[in-house]
A and B are shown apart, each in its own frame.
Chain A
Amino acid sequence: MNRWKKKTSPVIQSNKRAPLAGEGFGGRLGYFVRRALINLRQNIFVNVVTIGTITLALLIVALFLLVFVNLENAVGNWSERVQVTVYFDRELAPQEQAALRAKIISIPGANRVNYVSRDEALRRFKGRLRGQETLLEGVRPEVLPTSFEIALKRSSRDTQEVEAFVSVLKRIPGISEVQYGEEWVKRFNTFLNFMRLLGALLGSFLLIAVVFIVSNTIKLTIYARRDELEVMALVGATRFFIKAPFLIEGIIQGCVGSLIAIGLLLGLYEVFLQNAGSFLTFNPATSGLSFLPLEYVGGIVITGVALGFIGSLTSLKRFVNV
């Protein structure tokens, strides 16, 4: 039985390369993307596993970031209380006031300068002793000091920065008594640094775990398809030709995984977290949790794409041996 018919098609000759589509990088890119999309469909189970792993891993990272960002915000608001006060035992004349204010505000790190007159000081004093105003009967404003309250820029609230600021401040003629609650500032900044260190440490452990899990999942999925790599190599595909569709698949997996993770986080946020943040509010000014800033969202997507791409690249290096 001879089923091998002898006729040869007139259009096809030995090894003649078709000069049509698929030429040049653009055409090749089109082919690779098409191939990657077909592969995603044909290996749907393996791809769902990979995308699911990336989604879960990034969701955990995103949740961590959400908590961390909100803690940072809350603590940042707290640090508003880092404030330097300059006391005077007399009322300042308006010109003197203006001149001193100008000098203070020109010191790097100063954010806002507020003059507290004797009357203002007494009003505040009374405010604190609400209900017991009788205690202040007979107290004249003249017994209270006047002061400048200086709020510092957020970047200048570290212990060293505050000390440097105060030493410059003290050099201004006419300023002698300066208070800034050294102990409190020190303790606050120690706490802040500890929190940041803890966050960075936890964050890096989390990231290492995520990279490990995702890259191993990708390695397993590529291992499951090693026949494909072998066959491609057998019919004369170059390394680049074999790898390109897998790398595009990796990018798509990472992108889809990270977008789903962000979608899930947004869902969780809308349903549970937005209004349930009172446990984190140290400051009545902040109510509820805020969502991740846009650059963090972008960072998560980029991390997802990088995970997919680099995970595929390193796994392929192991299995493609043309």
Chain B
Amino acid sequence: MIQLHNVSLAYQKDATALNNITLRIEKGEFVFLTGPSGAGKTTLLRLLYGALTPTRGQVLIDGQNVSRMTSAQIPQLRRMVGVVFQDFKLLPTRTVFENVAITLEVLGWGRADIGKKVMHILKQMDMESKLNLTPQRLSGGEQQRVALARALVNDPKVLLADEPTGNLDDANKNQILNIFKEANIRGTTVVVATHDRRLIDNSHKRLVTLSKGDIVEQVEKENISSYPV
């Protein structure tokens, strides 16, 4: 599903953010990216949703070469890639419902179908009672669930998360982790960048460790149930 071949990225001439990375993530896999701050986790994720183009190398998502996409093709890529962030990136003036509906409006869905689908996913996230509230009135965990609903409402092929639990307490962390796992079971390839050791240890998933732009360690956990042979 995701392939990186000898990918390098330099923001400036001397400052290399990623250094000749080769990584393959299969369809339906669940992968943690970890490493200290500045290791290149966020940069790697940004490559995967087309926010950055590599200085060298190829990035392939679902067989399509992201590094060669024109700016007109990027929206098509992003419609099959859901993204969530540490700071949620919800729109403060819009309600929970509207925040989630954006994804489907962009796809050109009709209003009735948007209503049904958004209600369905908000129910799954246990947020249906708050659909008319604006994000400021929600807790951090609730906001991240809304952000996840927005990312997952169109059943994307890939879900990317950048420190999704960075602002959350333990109970909320588990809840969010379970949502990731469930999305993964339903077939979505999940890549989570985090330096939260507990999150990684509790989930028993494949782990890729980055440091200073290099992959320094890869651990294949034995109980990766959805790993295709």
Contacts and interface: CB of A to CB of B under 8 A. Distances in A.
Given A1-B171, A2-B178, A43-B93, A11 B78 contact: no
Contacts of A241: 75, 106
A17 B175 CA distance: 30
Interface residues of B, number: 51
Interface in A30-67: 31, 35, 42-43
B75 A237 contact: yes
**Most chain B beta carbons < 10 A, residue from A4, A5, A232, A322:** A4
Contacts of B106: 232, 235-237, 241
Given A1-B171, A21-B110, A22-B111, A322 B102 contact: no
A12 B120 contact: yes
Nearest to A43: B93
Contacts of A21: 110-112
**Most chain B beta carbons < 10 A, residue from A3, A227, A238:** A3
Contacts of A20: 109-113
Contacts of A14: 154-155, 187
Contact of A322 (B74, B107, B120, B155): B74
Contacts of B109: 17-18, 20, 22
A234 B159 CA distance: 12
Contacts of A13: 155
A233 B78 contact: yes
Contacts of A230: 89
A6 interface: yes
B32 interface: no
Contacts of B113: 18, 20
Contacts of B196: none
A42 B89 contact: no
Contacts, number: 114
A234 B78 contact: yes
Interface residues of A, number: 39
B42 to A, nearest CB: 14
A322 B93 contact: no
A5 B121 CA distance: 10
B97 interface: no
A231 B103 CA distance: 9
Nearest to B183: A4
Contacts of A96: none
A238 B75 contact: yes
A228 interface: yes
Contact of B124 (A4, A227, A232, A236): A4
A8 interface: yes
Nearest to B151: A235
B125 A3 contact: yes
Interface string A237-257: 111010000000000000000
A234 B108 contact: no
Interface string A14-31: 110111111100001001
A9 interface: yes
Interface in B75-113: 75-80, 83, 89-94, 102-113
Contact of A4 (B74, B75, B103, B178): B178
Contacts of A8: 186
B198 interface: no
A236 B123 contact: no
Nearest to B90: A231
A270 to B, nearest CB: 39
26 contacts: A1-B175, A1-B178, A3-B178, A4-B179, A4-B182, A12-B116, A12-B120, A15-B107, A15-B154, A18-B109, A18-B113, A20-B110, A20-B111, A22-B108, A22-B109, A28-B108, A35-B105, A227-B89, A228-B91, A232-B106, A234-B78, A234-B83, A235-B78, A236-B76, A239-B71, A239-B72
